[in-house]
Amino acid sequence: MFQLKSKFVWRFTLLLFLASCIVHIAPSLYAQTTASLSGNVVDSTGAVIPNATVTLTNKASGDKHDVTSNSSGFFTFAGVIPGTYTVDIAAHGFRGLRQDDVTIDPADVRSLGNLSLAVGGTDDSVTVQSSANEIAPQDSGERSALLSTKDIERLPIESRNLSELLKILPGTTTTASGTGNGPSFDFSDNGSSGSAVGVGLNTNGAPYRGGTAYLLDGANIIDPGCACYSIATVNPDMTQEVKVQTSNFGADAPQGPIVINNISRSGTNHFHGQAYFYTRNGVLNANTWSDKNSDPRRLAPSPPTTTRAAASAVPS
C-alpha cells in the first residue's frame, strides 16, 4: 500500500512540474514569435472617437480580428502573427478608414499613430496605402535587422543552411579558427544539422558560445550541450523571414544578448504549392583555398621522376 501511494505521489509531482513548465514557457515563446499593433482613432479636429470598431485582416489567410477603441480612442492587437495586414476602422457618423499593406515582423511593437476619420456616412470609406517602412512611430528602441522573404529568395547561398545569410548583416563577422585565421565553419561541408551560430559567425561581439539564441518559431534550437551548432538546420525554402535583435529589445524576449528569430512560412486561403529536388555530391565540390594549402600531402615534396623501359619491348 505504501509503495502504491509513493508511485502515485511521484507521478502527480511529475505531472505538476511539467504543467508548470508549459505555463511558464508558452507565454515567452508566444511573445517571441508574434507582435503587437496599436493606434488611436480621432476625428479631423483631433478629438478621440470611442467605441470605434477596428478590424485586422491577414491578407494571406483572410483571418480577421475585431477590437473596439476605448474611451480614449486607443486600440491594440496583441499576439499578431507576422505577415501583411489590412486595418479597417468604422464608427457611427464617420466615413470608414482602411490602412492597407501593414507589414508586421516578429516581436514588433508598432503603432499606427493617430488615424483620422472624416465625417460622413458609414458606407463611405477612405483607403490609405502604406508600406513596412512608413509605419511610425515604433514604440520600441530595439536595434534589429531583418531578412525578408525577398532577401531569402534573391540572395545567393552556397549551402541549404539559412544561417549562411546572416553574414551579410551589419555587425556580423566570421569567427577565426586556429592559427590560419580562417573561418571555423565551412558551408560547403554541411550535414543535416548544424549552423554557423556559435561556431562560425559572431554578431556585435557576443560571447563565442552561448551569446546568441537561435530560435525557430520561438524554440531555441542551439545544442544545449556545447552552446554551439544547432539540433536542426533551418531550410531557406520553408522560412518566411528572419529577425536579428541585437540590443535594447523588450523583456518579452528573455533570450540573448543576441536573438536570431526564424519564422516559418504559414498557409494562406488559396491553394498553392511547389515541387523541387536538390542533389549534392561531394565530388563536385570545389576545394577551398585553406583546405588545399593545408593538406600535408600537397605540401610534401614530390618524389623524383624516373623513366623505365617497357618490359614488353620486342628486341630487334
301 and 201 in contact (C-beta within 8 Å)? no
The amino acid that residue 240 corresponds to is: Q
The grid coordinates listed for 156 are 545567393
Alpha carbon distance 200, 310 (integer Å): 54
- CATH class of this structure's domain 36-134: mainly beta
Mean pLDDT value of segment 118-146: 65
Bridge partners, 57 (sequence order): 64, 86
Question: What percent of the chain stands above pLDDT 70?
Answer: 63
- CATH class of this structure's domain 143-269: mainly beta
120 and 95 in contact (C-beta within 8 Å)? yes
Question: Where is pLDDT greater, at 125 or 236?
Answer: 236
Question: Where is pLDDT greater, at 250 or 13?
Answer: 250
Alpha carbon distance 311, 99 (integer Å): 89
Mean pLDDT value of segment 198-215: 82
Alpha carbon distance 235, 227 (integer Å): 21
Mean pLDDT value of segment 189-197: 68
Between β-strands 258-264 and 212-216, what pairing exists: parallel, antiparallel or unpaired?
A: parallel
163 pLDDT band, cuts 50/70/90, is confident
Mean pLDDT value of segment 252-278: 77
Question: Where is pLDDT greater, at 2 or 215?
Answer: 215
For residue 141, what pLDDT is reported? 73
- The answer to whether residue 3 scores a pLDDT higher than 60 is no
Mean pLDDT value of segment 100-117: 88
Of 127, 79, 75, the residue nearest 104 (C-alpha): 79
Structure confidence by residue, pLDDT tens digits, 30-82: 456 788 899 999 998 999 999 999 999 998 888 899 999 999 999 999 989 88
Output the average pLDDT for the chain.
Answer: 75
The grid coordinates listed for 50 are 470611442
pTM confidence score: 0.66
Mean pLDDT value of segment 227-254: 81
Mean pLDDT value of segment 226-240: 84
Q: Comparing 43-47, 160-164, 301-305, which segment has the lowest mean pLDDT?
A: 301-305
- Is the peptide bond preceding residue 257 cis, with omega within 30 degrees of 0? yes
For residue 32, what pLDDT is reported? 65
- The answer to whether residue 2 scores a pLDDT higher than 60 is no
Alpha carbon distance 152, 263 (integer Å): 12
The grid coordinates listed for 212 are 546568441
For residue 189, what pLDDT is reported? 60
The backbone torsions φ and ψ at residue 12, rounded to the nearest 5 degrees and listed phi first, read -65, -40
